[in-house]
């Protein structure tokens, strides 16, 4: 069978990235939009780890850990904003989130 | 240790990951999306193991699948579910988003097709699995009294997490 090269991993990561972008651009539910952002970050992580394997050093893996930290921070703040918004407007649709203050 | 049946596992794990991603963006019920996202995260963790990154795979399972997804599930259960399930799930301009995303995928694939020769037939350097965690720790914390190249970034990351915790608490609190 064919060898699995870095390019194979890059194609998988591109597919995951595009799935995340489709989710961000088309869904109305904010929770699912945030989950699509997690998909995008995972695709980036997969790229970093694949290149880390290709070059034979661990810098890519360390960067992917930093991206996991960012994802955790982003999810915490995003979900906090979502709860505050839901308490005031009783909806979680992206279309209706168009005010900073009401 | 030499890997066995690498192509089989690669295609299986990447198929599971992409299928899970598709389910994430198409399900009506947000809980189903969250469960599909957990499946995707676990499959990606398997891909990390195939790339000789056991520490990143462990972090992926513990932090992502264990921590962040539990946070998501809690929030899904806090916000109203029954009403949103009955509503329209995609916004009005979804064909535009779909076409733009497909154009992005075509761009990625054309770039990879052009640069294919960079990846073919190059010798793959070996990464040691057994001391992977130790080497990542040396890069993050330093070794024998010397700070590592990422120690400062590591401290900044801890500050970022602190600020994120404070921000989340302040946002979600009823009266500040």
Is A17 part of any domain?
A: yes
* Interface touch B112/A6, C-beta < 8 Å: no
ipTM: 0.91
pTM: 0.90
Architecture of domain B1-89: Up-down Bundle (1.20)
* Rounded Cα gap, residues B4 and B7, in angstroms: 9
Is A63 part of any domain?
A: yes
For the cut 90, the answer to whether the pLDDT of residue B89 exceeds it is no
* Rounded Cα gap, residues B38 and B40, in angstroms: 5
B145: left (phi over 0), alpha (psi -120 to 50) or beta: left
Is A35 part of any domain?
A: yes
Nearest residue of chain A to residue B12 (CA atoms)? A12
B47 touches chain A (CB under 8 A): yes
Is A11 part of any domain?
A: yes
- Which H helix or E strand runs over A89? helix A59-89
* Interface touch A14/B108, C-beta < 8 Å: yes
Using the Cα atoms of residue B8, residue A68, residue B84 and residue B79 in order, give the sign of their dihedral. Answer: positive
Substitution target in B79, B91, B108 with the highest count of A β-carbons within 10 Å is: B79
Nearest to A28 by CA among B22, B87, B100: B87
* Rounded Cα gap, residues B44 and B59, in angstroms: 12
In chain A, % of residues over pLDDT 90: 53
* pLDDT at res. B155: 92
Is A74 part of any domain?
A: yes
Is A40 part of any domain?
A: yes
A-chain residues within 8 Å CB-CB of B96? 25
* Interface touch A42/B40, C-beta < 8 Å: yes
Average pLDDT over residues B64-71: 90
Average pLDDT over residues B48-53: 88
Domain range spanning residue A30?
Answer: 6-96
* Interface touch A73/B163, C-beta < 8 Å: yes
Q: Which of B18, B97, B149 sits opposite A25 (nearest CB)?
A: B97
* Rounded Cα gap, residues B21 and B25, in angstroms: 7
List helix spans (H) across chain B: 6-26, 30-50, 54-59, 69-78, 82-86, 94-114, 132-141, 151-172
What are the φ and ψ backbone dihedral angles of B132, each rounded to 5 degrees? -60, -45
């Amino acid at each position: 069978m064919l060898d699995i090269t870095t390019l194979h991993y890059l194609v998988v990561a591109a597919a995951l990235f595009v799935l995340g972008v489709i989710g961000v651009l088309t869904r109305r539910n904010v929770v699912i939009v945030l989950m699509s952002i997690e998909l995008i970050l995972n695709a980036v992580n997969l790229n970093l780890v694949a290149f880390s394997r290709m070059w034979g050093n661990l810098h890519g893996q360390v960067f992917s850990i930093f991206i996991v930290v960012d994802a955790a921070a982003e999810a915490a703040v995003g979900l906090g904003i979502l709860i505050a918004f839901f308490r005031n407007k009783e909806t979680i649709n992206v279309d209706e989130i168009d005010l900073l203050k009401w | 240790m030499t890997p066995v049946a690498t192509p089989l596992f690669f295609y299986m794990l990447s198929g599971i990951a992409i299928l899970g991603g598709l389910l994430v963006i198409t399900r009506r019920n947000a809980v189903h999306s969250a469960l599909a996202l957990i499946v995707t995260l676990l499959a990606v963790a398997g891909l990390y193991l195939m790339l000789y990154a056991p520490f990143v795979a462990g972090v992926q399972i513990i932090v992502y699948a264990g921590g962040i997804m539990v946070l998501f599930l809690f929030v899904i259960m806090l916000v109203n579910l029954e009403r949103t399930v009955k509503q329209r799930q995609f916004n009005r301009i979804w064909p535009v988003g779909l076409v733009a995303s497909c154009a992005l995928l075509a761009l990625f694939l054309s770039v990879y097709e052009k640069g294919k020769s960079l990846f073919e037939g190059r010798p793959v350097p070996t990464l040691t699995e057994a001391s992977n965690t130790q080497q990542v720790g040396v890069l993050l914390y330093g070794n024998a009294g010397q700070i590592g190249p990422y120690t400062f970034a590591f401290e900044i990351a801890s500050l970022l997490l602190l600020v994120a915790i404070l921000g989340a608490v302040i946002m979600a609190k009823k009266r500040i």
